[in-house]
Amino acid sequence: MKPGKILAVSIFGYLIYIGFQLFVMFNPNSPERLRNAQENIPSATEQRADNLWAYYLINADNPLPADFTVGLDKVQGNYMLDERCAGYARQMIADAAKDGIELTVVSAYRSVQKQQENLESYTQRLISLGHSSTEARKLAEKEIALPYTSEHNAGLALDILTPDWWETHDDVTADFENTEQFRWLTENAHKYGFIMRYPKEYENVTGIIYEPWHYRFVGVFYAGEIKESGLPLEYFYKTHF
């Protein structure tokens, strides 16, 4: 083969390689990106990982036991979390305030009964908007987990908004991502053991819509590792239990 053709083939091959790498970089669901991220999750030891009691999955496939109980402590106002992580949340809120950012908790621990009431209420709201009962239920379950499958039932999750949110909104919506509160949480929540639990790119994995306002306690060590990996808890947990 002539030198010119060799050079052309080499350049073409290089461009294909670059194109593949860009695809992996900007496609969060690509198997290659997931494999690379999973392979680079460092191993933890009990000496390095804090709050191992909080490191577990709660979802439709991993419900809480029927006899689950939790000790609670206040975080803000009348909102409470598991007493073992409530202090982390209080410190996060206090440190945000020092930076001029007011984090307003709008939901935390919810009893199983309250979870059921919320699900039924939202289903009825969707029906009133014209959805069939079957369709309304399916849509509702994408936003409100079934009883025993919500992280709120375990006292491990906070919903956080701006203090003036309800002045311009009648619901919790994804445009929370445009607030300074969200930007602060994105940069700092992991330092207090919290992760933004339901990322935009992984709705098909978590089974829950994108919720930039929902933060779940997993401990400082794992929160940092999960943030660094870019993976949702479902994927991270599978590779690092």
211 is catalytic: yes
**Residue whose entry in the numeric block shows the structure tokens 């098909």:** 204
- Which DSSP letter does residue 19 get? H
* Angle between the N-to-C axes of helices 31-39 and 3-26, in degrees from 0 to 180, rounded to the nearest 10: 80
Pull the structure tokens for residue 183: 């930007």
Pull the structure tokens for residue 44: 């933890």
**Sign of torsion, CA 157 162 163 169?**
negative
In degrees rounded to 5, what are phi and psi of residue 197?
Answer: -75, -30
Pull the structure tokens for residue 5: 């053709």
Q: Which of 83, 135, 151, 211 is catalytic?
A: 211
Element (H, E) at 212: strand 211-217
Give the residue numbers marked as catalytic: 211
